[in-house]
Structure 1
Amino acid sequence: MIFIKFDLTFTITATIAFVSLVSPIITALINNYHSRNMKRLEIEQENIRNNILHKRDLLENYLTATAAFSYEEQHTPEQIKELLNSYYLILPYIPGKYHTYFSEYSELIVDGVMDESNFKRARYLIGNYIIPCIKTEIEKM
C-alpha cells in the first residue's frame, strides 16, 4: 500500500496565495459592474428630469401665450403664431379626451372673430378644461 504524504502547510499556503491573487480581480469586477449600473441609473434619472423640465416649459409657455389673449382685445399675427406654436408643441402631452377643447380654443383664436359669444366660449374652455388639464399634467410630474 502506498501512502502519499500530504503536507498541510503547503496546501494552506497555496490556497491563501491563490485567494490573495484572485480576490482583487473579483472585487474589481464587482465594483465595475456596480459603477456601470449606477451610471446607467444616473443617466436615466437625468433623462427623466430633462423630459419633465421640457414638458413643464412647454405647458408654461402655452399658458403665457393664452394669458396674452385673455387680456388683450387686439391680437398681433406674432401673438397668434406664438399661441399656435405653443398649442402644437403641447398637443402630444395632452390627454386625448382634452384635445377637442384645446382644438376648439385654437380655432376660436385663429378665426380672429372675438365677439361676445366667442369670447365667453374661449373663457369657458380656458377655465373649465384647459387650465385644469394643464394643472393635472403639471401635478403628475
Structure 2
Amino acid sequence: MTEQNYQIALRALVLEQQPLWWPVLDQWISRFGGWWAHEHDESRDPAWAIACQALLRDPLLADAHRAAHFLAMLPFNRWHAATPAGRRWNPVNESFAPFVARVMPEGVVTFVAPDFETLRSTDTVKWLWARWLSEYAKRMSCDSQHGSRW
C-alpha cells in the first residue's frame, strides 16, 4: 500500500472510530513529512502506515485525553532532528520541511531517540488534546447554531 493509500485508509478508520480526531491527526502526522526521506534517503513517509496499523490494532478511545496519550506514543514521535548548533525540531511547533529550510545551510542531523523523551511526549499530548478540544468546540458551536446535538 502506498503512503497516500495509508493516509486514505487512516482517514476512513478515524472517521469511523472518532471523527473529531481526523483534522488533528492529519495536521500532526503531516508535520513528520520528509523526515524519513532525509534520514533514510528514501522517498516515503511511513508515519501514515504506522498510525494506520496502530489504530487498526487498538482503536481510538472515546476518552480523548487518553487517546492523546496513546497517539503521542506512536513510534514516529521518536523521530528527531537538530542542527550542529543545537537548534531542535519540534513537530508540535512546525513541520519538518520548514524547519530544514529555516536552519539551512547549517545542516540537519536526524535520529530516532532510543526512548520517548518526556518533554516531547508531554508537549505532544498537550498539543493533541488542545487540538481535539478545538475540534470539539467547533462541533458544539456548529450543532448549537443548527439546533442539533450529536
Larger helix share, 1 or 2: 1
Larger strand share, 1 or 2: 2
Question: How high is the TM-score relative to the length of structure 2?
Answer: 0.24
Question: How high is the TM-score relative to the length of structure 1?
Answer: 0.25
